[in-house]
A = this chain, B = another copy of it.
Amino acid sequence: MKKIIFALFFMFSLANLFAQEALNDGSNIISPQINNDNSVTFRLYAPDTKEVKIISDCVKGKAVDMQKNESGIWSYTTPPLSSDLYSYAFSIDGVRCLDPSNVYINRDVATTSNIFIINGGKGNLYSVNKVPHGTITKRWYASPRNEVTPRRITIYTPLGYEIGKDEYPVLYLLHGMGGDEDAWITLGRTVQIIDNLIAQGKAKPMIIVMPNGNVVQEAAPGESWLGFEKPNFNLPHSMDGKMEETFPDIIQFVENNYRVKRNKSNRAIAGLSMGGFHSLHISRYYPNTFDYIGLFSPAIYPRQNTSPVYKDIDETLLKQKNNKYKLYWIGIGKTDFLYKDVENYRKKLDNLDMKYTYYESEGGHTWSNWREYLSIFLPLLFQ
């Protein structure tokens, strides 16, 4: 009895902020509920609301009307969904509102969304499973080539790194515009993907280094002295060669501080969108450094007329080709707005007789694609 009273007291204490006004009694609501056929039911207790919609990539980005029952609970059930990680929010009388029944949230630039996973296919790779887990480290490194220093970086080390003596290969994994050193582990589910692939024997144990690719930003929003600023999508100097010029600081930090194999055949670089742009240029700026290059929906030509980054592009690509590499992987979705640019870049590579592996998926410029590309790319590395 005392036990129960104590638990009640505790809950009362937590709830006391909100005790004066009973805001809703929807606390027992389950949302999202994943049904046996992989359809999903969303629910919201909102008896006094005129209109509730669900906005989600699981309903193809449309805002879909939810229906209210006599208890004031709005609900909507999707058709059966394919296995993936999905995002959603409610629209309550036109206001974007996170699901109060779901604490799992991702931030994409300045927008937050609830998330859920449908298992049974690629969603399994994005889930935490009963497999050995690697370590996530968030630390700061000095970047002498960049005036914005020290800088924050996220590093994945596989299980056993801390206690073993092996040296590991390294993947440098770069985010897109508006992203930061946290994006690949939150939106990208990188830790779950690599843990699962290593456990399945499909990927080599490796270190994954996720730097902040916005050269003017020392750390992710909220993690720097700028405080809780509204995240900014388009930061200066992100695609003008500065990231490429300062990148050796990251390699040096990693190779001086981690037990890694320090040669080309044990270095990979990949990135999405702006990070694909960075991976393309960094790998040819330092054309004898990486044996594995991954361009995920890369932003190839956005600033061709203004950015000094393109200087000597053909010559350096040829150098990269002559130095040889093991994998040059390009992935893009059929409806990506960068599709045409990637097609033109492939023509350039063809003309230079540079070999590449090309993967074309459905869909566009989405994290759903980037998680899939990473899942395909990782098993190809360091073989």
Residues of A within 8 A of B (CB): 2-3, 6-7, 9-14, 16-21, 23-24, 26, 30, 44-51, 53, 55-57, 61-63, 87, 91-98, 100-105, 107-112, 115-117, 127-130, 132-140, 150, 152, 159, 162-163, 177-178, 219, 221-225, 227-228, 230-231, 233-234, 257, 273, 299, 302-306, 337, 364-365
Contact = CB atoms under 8 A, between A and B. Distances in A.
B112 A107 contact: no
B93 A177 contact: no
Given A13-B365, A159-B140, A103 B93 contact: no
A63 B103 contact: no
Contacts of A51: 48
Given A3-B303, A14-B108, A61-B20, A92 B94 contact: no
Contacts of A108: 14
Contact of A23 (B91, B100, B103): B91
Nearest to A223: B128
Contacts of A257: 162-163
A18 B61 contact: yes
A101 to B, nearest CB: 7
Contact of A93 (B49, B136, B137, B219): B49
Contacts of A303: 2-3, 6
A104 B222 contact: yes
B162 A94 contact: no
6 contacts: A10-B234, A18-B63, A95-B100, A103-B222, A136-B138, A137-B137
Contact of A130 (B53, B225, B365): B225
A337 B9 contact: yes
A88 to B, nearest CB: 10
Given A95-B24, A139-B135, A337-B9, A101 B233 contact: no
Given A115-B228, A135-B139, 18 more contacts: A2-B304, A2-B305, A10-B233, A10-B273, A14-B108, A18-B61, A20-B63, A21-B63, A23-B91, A23-B96, A24-B95, A46-B95, A49-B94, A49-B95, A103-B107, A105-B105, A133-B139, A133-B140
A125 to B, nearest CB: 13
Nearest to A62: B20
A49 to B, nearest CB: 5
Contacts of A61: 16-20
Contacts of A136: 137-139
A24 B107 contact: no
A179 to B, nearest CB: 11
B10 A177 contact: yes
A12, A30, A51, A63 — most chain B CB neighbours (10 Å): A63
A95 B44 contact: yes
Nearest to A4: B234
A267 to B, nearest CB: 21
Interface centre among A91, A100, A228 (most CB of B within 10 A): A228
